[in-house]
Amino acid sequence: MIQTQVTQTARQILTETIILAKARKDLSFAEIVDGTGLSEAFVTAALLGQHPLPASAAEVVGQKLGLSADEVTLLQSMPVRGSFADGIPTDPTIYRFYEMMSVYGTTLKALVHEKFGDGIISAINFKLDIKKVEDPDGGHRAVITLDGKYLPTKPF
């Protein structure tokens, strides 16, 4: 699909519809993703308005959630990305990621540049994974893998 959104409004409304349908049907994101052929992280991000879904995946998701044909079409459009509407996030979970980048962002930048040279880590050619593991000291730990392609800065 070559359609793109120009504001976040339509996708935000669709996200609210999706979250309500997910709750009504008592589905996990993993259950919704099953049969799409895509990762749980990618489809979840798409359902939250951050990516377009391929038509086949949008149809699978739409059928599971009872979405209309227009909503399935909207899931395939290229969204206006970004979830920080106005500055510092206030949701505690999202804020902790913001805090992690505030504390470790310069460390990550320094280590990326030392190991790879001048460039960036792509968020386009990217993979994300999250696992829940046992903590030897009790409780659980979150293991989050951010896997992006390195793109060197090229002189011109």
99, 102, 114, 134: which one is catalytic?
99
Cβ atoms of 43 and 33 within 8 Å: the answer is yes
24, 31, 81, 96: which one is catalytic?
96
Q: Is 40 considered catalytic here?
A: no
The Cα 27–Cα 127 span in angstroms is 23
Other CB atoms within 10 Å distance of the CB of residue 30 = 10
The Cα 4–Cα 16 span in angstroms is 19
Q: Is 102 considered catalytic here?
A: no
Cβ atoms of 53 and 76 within 8 Å: the answer is yes
The Cα 36–Cα 75 span in angstroms is 13
Q: How many CA atoms lie within 13 A of 98 on its CB side?
A: 11
24, 81, 122, 141: which one is catalytic?
122
Q: Is 96 considered catalytic here?
A: yes
The Cα 31–Cα 44 span in angstroms is 11
Tokens of residue 146, six digits: 């951010």
Active-site residues, by number, are: 96, 99, 122
